[in-house]
Amino acid sequence: MKSLYLKNRLFLFLLLIAIGFAFSFGWSPLYPIFKVLLYLLFALVAVDILILFLRKQVIHVHRQLADTLSLGDENSVSLSVSSSYSIPLAIEVIDELPYQLQRRDSGFRFLLAPGGTKTFQYSIKPTERGLYKFGNVNVYVSSVLGLVERRYAVEESKEIAVYPSVLQMRKHDFQVFTKSSQNQGVKKMRRLGNTNEFEQIKDYVKGDNYRHINWKATSRRNKLMVNQYQDEKSQQVYCVIDKSRTMKMPFDGLTLLDHAINSTLVMSNIALKKGDKAGVITFSDKIGAQVKASRNATHLNKVMEVLYNQKTQFLEANYELLYQSIKRTVRGRSLLIMYLNFESFYSLQRALPILRRLNKAYLIVVVFFENTEISKATEMQGKTVSDIYLQTFAQKFTNDKKRMVHELRKFGIQSILSKPEELSVNTINKYLELKSRGMI
């Protein structure tokens, strides 16, 4: 069928060339033949126009996608094209995508049977939060003759909001609370007795803490029995996000701020599912959004709405102001997961006094980012002086990051040095580790 359309258009092209030569070079004996061919061409074009334009609206298109899109994920879009023509058609569909995507490859070509329906899918990957406006769907239709093409502009305009990644949240939720987590990078840790919240008395098995042996129950049952304690719940878990200029750096199409926002949504969901309270604080040169830790049924939606509206502020972070705000807002022992970005050892030293003061009142985990592009440069083969210089600089930068981790741990501050794409998994593992050790 497709070759037939190509042959028709090739025939038209050759015919027009032949007629042009005939009239240009004065081939008078061939005039009658070319006139007949020209009239035949006009007749075929007229027939093709009648076939395509005889009815007003005979092509229907429906675009289907989620009510909200997930930041940084592949979101599926479905287009369904149906025809009420009684003849087969050659179809080209061009979807008008939001300008934020900067894509010009949303066209599809296919053949559609008489009265048939064709459904196909493609995916889009939003790299910034906000409203994305989809325009019309343009459908170009031609018949078997392939001489004329008709355009249908189907009204399918729609605005969709791009939120922090709900898909990642559901994925990590599934990994943490199912047995498949061991194969997905999430370490499920069983906690046996590090708090005073009693759960049950059970038979002693190898590996149980001998300090939890219940001697009264042991004497009654004539075998070793131990007390088992459950995770302490309703602890406050705050995600503190730096919105200063250092968080604007892009990795894998997303800024560090967006990576931190996606991870915050994942962590808030996991904390709520674990029975803890989740809160959010953002800051730069001034304090931004503050969501007090809670575990209400609608609290996750509130967190998502707040994260949706966060934007980078192109100024230096004010840690002294952050300390004062946290002391006023966060009451009692709490876990503070702080998404920061230190690009030099000097920048860490400036913030370190505040971090140490916070660590005395709360349990803090400093999360900062590994520059994966610079890390790749350390593995390059140095063939020129310039290459050797870049490799040396990259190694120094990488060593500085490791030195920062050592400096934080020296003062008893928990830290995570993570690649942006592994941020959520590493943060969840640290949270589960702290829960298993009874530190929160």
Predicted TM-score of the model (pTM): 0.79
Q: Return the ∠ at Cα 184 (arms to 182 and 185), rounded to 5°.
A: 75
Residues whose CB falls within 8 Å of the CB of residue 98, separated by 6 or more in sequence, listed in order: 132, 133, 134
Residues whose CB falls within 8 Å of the CB of residue 138, separated by 6 or more in sequence, listed in order: 93, 94, 95, 96, 151, 152, 153, 154
Our measurement of the distance from residue 232's CA atom to the centroid of its chain's CA atoms, rounded to an integer in Å, reads 32
Q: Which of 150, 129, 138 is closest to 49 using CA atoms?
A: 150
Q: Which stretches within 26-110 are classed as H helix?
A: 31-53
Q: What is the mean pLDDT of the chain?
A: 84
Distance, in Å, from the CA atom of 209 to the CA atom of 228, rounded to the nearest integer, reads 9
Q: What is the pLDDT of residues 78-115, one digit of tens each?
A: 999 999 888 889 899 999 999 999 888 778 888 999 88
Domains of the chain as residue ranges with CATH: 2-53 (no CATH), 59-163 (2.60.40.10), 166-188+233-436 (3.40.50.410), 198-229 (no CATH)
**Euclidean distance between the first and the last CA atom of the chain, given in angstroms as a whole number:** 68
Query: What's the chain's Rg over C-alpha atoms?
Result: 32
Query: Cα-flanking dihedrals φ and ψ of residue 165, to 5°?
Result: -60, 100
Distance, in Å, from the CA atom of 37 to the CA atom of 257, rounded to the nearest integer, reads 67
Q: What is the pLDDT of residues 221-255, one digit of tens each?
A: 888 888 876 555 678 999 999 999 989 988 888 99
| Of 142-156, 168-182, 341-355, the least confident | 168-182
Cβ contact 18:34 at 8 Å: yes
Cβ contact 307:339 at 8 Å: no
